[in-house]
Amino acid sequence: MAHLVLVQLVQKIQLDKKKKDEKMLKVLVVDDSLIIRKKITNLLEKLGHDVVLSVTNGQEAIDGYNKVKPDLVTMDITMPDMDGITAVKNIIKDNADAKIIMVTSHGQEDMVIKSIQAGAVGYMLKPITEDKLASSIGEVFIEYAVDEEDDDLDILEDEI
């Protein structure tokens, strides 16, 4: 009986993962650093999401958002031409449901607060890691919430 329950639990987990895989997010990545854009893009793709556009400043973010209507935006705060805070204000003005996660360095707490006040839904500190990114996405999209129990169940799944 316990074995049957365990098998059903593993099947449910596999189905949940399949559903999660089928519903990847369309993401706009905004950062003036090519290295950071590539890193975030690679991590997002590793997590199963689709980077639909990658741009270098706030104005490009606004224009790009209006073209591709992504599910999620990762936005650097400090960029030339137009900073991330100004871009957030402009995106939110026309797209109140936009989901924007700010990417920032240590020591920019005031700017993070201004970003959240402007409409961003969260932030990540550099350096960006897969775990930080997955956790930040999970805070915004509950279906992608990082569940520490999944790791334990993966081990059980391997043993069956």
> In terms of domains, do 84 and 157 share one?
no
Whether residue 8 has pLDDT greater than 80: no
Using a pLDDT cut of 70, give the percent of the chain over it.
Answer: 77
> In terms of domains, do 62 and 87 share one?
yes
The position carrying tokens 């999401």 is: 49
Amino acid at 44: L
> In terms of domains, do 87 and 130 share one?
yes
> In terms of domains, do 42 and 110 share one?
yes
> In terms of domains, do 81 and 5 share one?
no
> In terms of domains, do 157 and 136 share one?
no
CA pair distance 137, 51, nearest whole angstrom = 14
> In terms of domains, do 94 and 120 share one?
yes
> In terms of domains, do 154 and 90 share one?
no
| Contact between 113 and 125 (Cβ < 8 Å) | no
Other beta carbons within 10 Å of 158? 8
Whether residue 122 has pLDDT greater than 70: yes
Other beta carbons within 10 Å of 81? 12
> In terms of domains, do 99 and 123 share one?
yes
Whether residue 25 has pLDDT greater than 60: yes
CA pair distance 77, 117, nearest whole angstrom = 13
- Who wins on pLDDT, 154 or 107? 107
Other beta carbons within 10 Å of 23? 13
Lowest mean pLDDT among 6-10, 62-66, 80-84, 100-104: 6-10
CA pair distance 5, 57, nearest whole angstrom = 52
Domain of residue 15: give its range. 1-24+147-160
| 32-48 average pLDDT score | 96
Quote the mean pLDDT of the chain: 85
Whether residue 159 has pLDDT greater than 50: no
| Contact between 30 and 85 (Cβ < 8 Å) | no
Other beta carbons within 10 Å of 130? 12
> In terms of domains, do 136 and 152 share one?
no
> In terms of domains, do 34 and 45 share one?
yes
> In terms of domains, do 62 and 4 share one?
no
Per-residue model confidence as pLDDT tens digits over 54-69: 999 999 999 999 999 9
| Contact between 76 and 103 (Cβ < 8 Å) | yes
Lowest mean pLDDT among 4-13, 78-87, 118-127: 4-13
Q: What's 126's domain CATH number?
A: 3.40.50.2300
pTM over 0.95: no
The structural domain count of the chain equals 2
